[in-house]
Structure 1
Amino acid sequence: MAHIHKEFLIDNSPENVWAALREVGAVHRRLAPGFVTDTRMEADTRIVTFANGVVVHELIVDIDDAARRVAYAVVGGSLAPKHHHASMQVLDATEGRSRFVWTIDVTPDELVASIGEMVEQGAHVMQDTLKAAAATTDR
């Protein structure tokens, strides 16, 4: 099983970043617009459409307000690995910023390169989106 771990800082408060992450059915609006083009919920499953055409069905395993953590598992779609479990968590950082931690376990190992590339792209979009959201909130 391969492991992908991505951490980055966001120039926005943990409360604001958590509010965006927690809204699991609005990834395409609140967290990664343009990178994710559509998100819809069917019961506890989130169907995510990415700009590159990939569609995944993600079972929302947990939304933990105290830990500011969302856990999910890919259970279907056009990219259906043998196993894919991930979590995203928002932590306090210095000077009103947030530390975003994204952890993914996936098999087969051959998927690590393509998923890792999507994680890098998604991280950049989230940083830009949430920084812009902070600038709008500060006005």
Structure 2
Amino acid sequence: MAYIRKEFMIDNSPENVWNALREVGDVHRRLVPGFVTDTRMEGDTRIVTFANGVVVHELIVDIDEAARRVAYAVVGGSMAPRHHHASMEVLAGSGGRSRFVWTIDVTPDELAGPIDEMAEQGAGVMRETLKATPVPTGR
């Protein structure tokens, strides 16, 4: 099983970053606009369309308000791993900034490269999107 971890600082408060992350059905507007072109919810499953054409179905496993953590698993779509579980967590950093931790477990190992590349791109978009105060809304 491959393990991918992205950890980075965001020039915004943990409260503002969490406010964007917790809106799991609005990531194409609030978290990674342009990188994700559409998001829609079907029950507890999020259908995510990426700019590169990949579509994934993600089961939202947990939205933990106290821990500021979202957990999800890819359960279908055009990229169908045998196993995928990920979490995104917002922690307090120094100077009012946020530390963002994104972990992904995936099999088969051959998917680690493409998923790591997409996660790296997504992390860059998140840093830029979330550094603004307040975090942009889609409403």
Shorter-normalised TM-score: what interval? over 0.9
Residues 1:112 and 2:105 aligned together: no
1:24 maps to what in 2? 24
2:33 maps to what in 1? 33
2:56 maps to what in 1? 56
Q: What residue ranges of structure 2 are gaps of 5+ in the alignment?
A: none
How many residue pairs align between the two structures? 136
Q: What residue ranges of structure 1 are gaps of 5+ in the alignment?
A: none
From the two aligned structures, give the one with the greater helix fraction: 1
Cα displacement (A) at 1:134: 4.2
1:8 maps to what in 2? 8
1:97 maps to what in 2? 97
Tell me the distance in 2 between the aligned counterparts of 1:78 and 1:98.
Answer: 32
Contact 1:11 1:134 in 2 (8 A): no
Tell me the distance in 1 between the aligned counterparts of 2:133 and 2:72.
Answer: 25
Contact 2:45 2:58 in 1 (8 A): yes
TM-score (norm 2): 0.95
- Aligned residue type for 2:131: K
Tell me the distance in 1 between the aligned counterparts of 2:117 and 2:2.
Answer: 14
The percentage of aligned residue pairs carrying the same residue is 80
TM-score (norm 1): 0.95
